Structure 1
Amino acid sequence: MLSYERRCAEIVNQTSLLTSSLDGADLGIRVPSTPDWTLNQLLRHVGHAHRWADEMLRERLPEIDYSRNGAQLLSSYVGEPASVLVPWLNEGAASLSEVLSEVAPDEMIAPLAGHPGPRVWSRRMTHETVLHRWDVANALGVPFELDQEVAHDTLSEWTALALPYAFMRWPAETAPLVGPGHTVHLHATDAEAEFVIDLTGPTPTVREGHEKAAVALRGPLVELVLAVYRRRPVEGLEVFGDAELLALFLDRVRF
């Protein structure tokens, strides 16, 4: 996993990489991977998520205040130019990174599922920015590259947060995934990153390492990240074993 300090830095770095692609961009276009939003609205979503975490940490809230999250209230954002959004995004990322650096990583501020808020939010906002940077790059048709260490942490966070969240949030939809022998192996071909997702019990468990599973999905690390986040189909990646289980798994586990 990335260190806490690295994540604090990556929030700023990933936001800077995102905004660097916006020069001359039409922010009114729809984003294919988030079709309900324009590029303008997606950028506001990212910035408001940063500010939400920032505010909770600065005020040292003892629990998460979801009422302060403006990242979904996006209908009013129309026709804004990049000259307004770029500095707003960069300033918000810098402020969040600053407050994360000022608090102790293990303070119980805005904790999530019993985990210290600073650690959780440093990781969540790093990878929230990574994923939406891909959304922006894909919408604009510009190249997307991601450091392998960051990509490994993105995939690891998905197994630790998005996967159990889906089973908690949509129990009826995820119930068909549970069964004897139901295991999914994610195997990066360009990095030492392998995860085995065990679906044989009522809640999923995850192990790192190589072992035989009911179905394996193999490919470059970044492509695995995009696949589990439903940003790309599995076509072009290697699938071994129960392809129907994999298709159901990727369909039902969303975040």
Structure 2
Amino acid sequence: MSRELGTVDHGRLLEAFRIEARLLGEVAHAASPDAPVPTTPGWTLDDLLRHVAGTHRYVLSWLRRGRRPEQWQRAPRPGQSVAGFYESSHEELAAELAAHDPATRAATWWPADPTHGFWRRRALHETLVHRVDAEHAAGADGPQIPADLSTDGVDEALTLYFGHRLTTMGLSGTRYGTVGFHAGDHSWTARAGPGETEAWRCAAPEADTAEAVVTGSPATMYLWLWGRTPVTATHTEGDHELSAQIWALLRLATR
């Protein structure tokens, strides 16, 4: 029985992860490794590639050990290039993910989804967001993100990072209130306040009853939630302070 909690099926997630991983590598190969990454201040493109490769190794360790790893490969081995470290990491992770039915149980950091499918989704969005970062570093204009992946990324940012990770970090808002989100044909509501952060999918009319309503294309909303566009990139009606609170809390959750 499938446990898909996202908006995209697991086969598509794995295919998209492979594509995004390849694209990121191609962008990095074509640009200077010392190029600064505007969307992650203080990093060069080389730093970005190391980070993504290390994250892929981190996920591999979770899957192979069946628990949160304390140690994993974070840098190239002696004699290995950064590009080689990156290529081997994403290729091994893709093979590991493909080897398991996404509905089978796996150790994860989200109790709502203790399956291999969780890692297909997480690996994809980690890689996709950083592919966008790499394209900014390479000077590309307007990175393209498929609408279905953007929508799923909005869902993950709200339900996993805002709705779950902030709680595990002991962080919450200073003001009570709800914010509705519209991205294409999909809508969500997020609620924040002292000791409370949660988010859920909903029908558009329910989202419209929130004290603030944020609207944008799926791609713009995705990048907005991940802090890759200015806070003003989306359109907000109602209480702007409440929408800014959501954005600020996500900066803590996704750092």
Corresponding letter in the other structure for 1:247? A
On the 8 A contact 1:155/1:225 being kept in 2, the answer is yes
Q: Partners of 1:134 and 1:155 in 2: how far apart? A: 15
Alignment pair present for 1:159 and 2:162: no
Q: How does 1:86-125 map to 2 (within 5 A)?
A: 86-114=83-111, 115-125=113-123
Q: What is the total number of aligned residue pairs between the two structures?
A: 238
Q: Name 1:237's counterpart in structure 2.
A: 234
Pairing partner for 1:68 from 67, 71, 76: 71
C-alpha distance after superposition, 1:57-95 (max 9, x if no partner): 2x3x23221x22455xx7x99xx9xx9444543332222
Q: By how many angstroms is 1:131 displaced?
A: 0.5
Pairing partner for 1:12 from 12, 18, 28: 18
Q: How does 1:37-186 map to 2 (within 5 A)?
A: 37-57=43-63, 59=64, 61-65=65-69, 67-71=70-74, 84-114=81-111, 115-143=113-141, 144-163=143-162, 164-171=164-171, 174-177=172-175, 179=176, 182-186=177-181
On the 8 A contact 1:198/1:206 being kept in 2, the answer is no
Pairing partner for 1:205 from 191, 199, 223: 199
Greater mean alpha carbon deviation, residues 103-112 or residues 114-123: 103-112
User: Identical aligned pairs, as a percentage?
Assistant: 24
**Structure 2 unmatched ranges of 5 or more:** 1-6
Corresponding letter in the other structure for 2:67? E
Q: By how many angstroms is 1:116 displaced?
A: 2.2
**Structure 1 unmatched ranges of 5 or more:** none
TM-score (norm 1): 0.83
Q: Partners of 2:197 and 2:132 in 1: how far apart? A: 30
Alignment pair present for 1:227 and 2:219: no
On the 8 A contact 2:106/2:114 being kept in 1, the answer is yes
Corresponding letter in the other structure for 1:252? L
On the 8 A contact 1:12/1:90 being kept in 2, the answer is no
Corresponding letter in the other structure for 2:26? S
Q: Partners of 1:95 and 1:101 in 2: how far apart? A: 10
On the 8 A contact 1:27/1:39 being kept in 2, the answer is yes
Q: By how many angstroms is 1:240 displaced?
A: 0.4
